[in-house]
Amino acid sequence: MSKESIVTVSIDGKMVSVAAGATLLDACRQAGVDTPTLCYADNLTAANACRVCVVEVEGSRTLVPSCSRSAEDAMVVQTDSERVRHSRKMVLEFLGSGVDLSQADDLAGWIDYYGSEPDRYGPDRAMIKEEVRIQDSLYIRDYDKCVLCYKCVSACGEDAQHSFAIAVAGRGFDARIRTEFDVRLPDSACVYCGNCVAVCPTNALQFKTEFDLRKMGEWKPTEQAVTRTVCSYCGVGCNLEVHVQDDTIVKVTSPDDHDVTSGHLCIKGRFGWSYVQPGQSAAEEGD
């Protein structure tokens, strides 16, 4: 690599060199600095919406989102200054004050770390209250948990599936993920690839199998075995991670860093496992 294609930045006083075009988040990772993210995913275009990954860059009036700001040579970055801690605390607090983060496993530790207090806005505060949408036997949508990170929209759209079945509709706190006129998923352009489910960070989108097991108090992720295999449907070679609990497949994912899938699958790989366990799968239970 030529010298010009390397930039060196200071992260909390530690000098790190990254390839030109790398983000500040990449630089933070290289410096060994753990950074909370929500709307960012390695396999999606950065949405730059949640602002939980903000850092302080010397000379910048405002904080900058590390996920989508390119590292520039000689940048001086603080990731744990009072300003950064305050903004991260407040972003997590704001989110927790409006939606249900109880299944956002990756956030719990950060909420604790930054001391966010979502309840201090009082019991009368506006929160998102919507019925769980159960419109088929493959996945459910529980928008009380939606943080509007845009990941499902990107995965449904140009980052993976190109179905464009969902988009953000409305404005401000009333903005929601919607099909056109909120038509039922089976009536929309949805092809049930489940890539939206795979990228959802708060479990607002869940496999129906997981939803049913949770309802019964039977969801036990720690007791699940995850087996990596190759999808048997066609010749593309998508790798699958089959999650099994009590000898039953409960969901299927694909590794984000897999060359073929980048974590994305089609309906067959994602939901078409019923032939493995005839008579058991949620897909056969019907709606």
Partner 1 sequence: MADLHLSEDLASEAEVSAIDSAIAELGLDPAVVQETPRLVRGGNRRRASRRHGLLPALHALQRESGWISPGGLNHISKVLQVPPAEAYGVASFYELFRVDSPPDHDGNVVHVCVDAACQIAGSAKTIASLEAQGVAVHRSPCLGQCERPVAQFIQGRQRPDSVEADGVENGSIDGVLWDLPQKHDPSLKLLARVGRIDPTSLEAYVGSGGYRALARAFTLGASKVVEEVLSSGLAGRGGAAFPTGIKWQAVAAESGQKYVVANADESEPGTFKDRTLMENDPFALVEALTIAGFATGATKGWIYVRGEYPLAVQRLQNAIDAARDAGFVGQGIARSSIEFDIEIRRGAGAYICGEETALFNSLEGFRGEPRQKPPFPTTHGLFARPTAINNPETLLNVLSIVLDGGEAYAASGTEGSSGTKLFCLSGNVVRPGIYEVEFGPTLGEVLELAGGVVGNLRAILLGGAAGSFVGPDMLDLPLTMEATRDAGLSLGSGVIMAFNDEVDLGAVVTRIAEFFRNESCGQCVPCRVGSLRQHELLESSLSSSRGEEPLGIVSGSAPALLLEEMDRVMKDASICGLGHTASTAVRSAIELGLMRSSR
* Site for partner 1 contains 189 (CB under 8 A): yes
d(CA 147, CA 168): 12
124 or 131: CB nearest partner 1: 124
Q: What does the DSSP assignment read for 162-175?
A: -----EEES-GGG-
Binding mask 51-90 for partner 1 (x = CB under 8 A): xx-x-------xx-x--xx-------------x--xx--x
* Site for partner 1 contains 120 (CB under 8 A): yes
Beta sheet of 248-253, edge-to-edge order: 225-230, 239-245, 248-253
Q: Are 100 and 129 in contact (CB under 8 A)?
A: no
- Tell the smallest beta-carbon distance from residue 155 to partner 1 (Å): 11
* Site for partner 1 contains 267 (CB under 8 A): no
17-40 burial code (b ≥16 CB/10 A, e <16): ebeeebbbbbbbbbbebebbbbbb
* Site for partner 1 contains 116 (CB under 8 A): no
* Site for partner 1 contains 169 (CB under 8 A): yes
d(CA 149, CA 46): 10
- Tell the smallest beta-carbon distance from residue 104 to partner 1 (Å): 13
Q: Are 233 and 251 in contact (CB under 8 A)?
A: no
In this chain, which stretch among 133-141, 159-167, 218-226, 277-285 interacts with partner 1, using CB under 8 A? 159-167
- Give the helix, strand, coil percentages of the chain, each rounded to 5: 30, 20, 50
18 or 156: CB nearest partner 1: 156
Name the residues that contact partner 1, by CB under 8 A: 48-52, 54, 62-63, 65, 68-69, 83, 86-87, 90-91, 94-95, 97-98, 120-122, 124-126, 147-148, 157-159, 162-175, 178-181, 183, 187-189
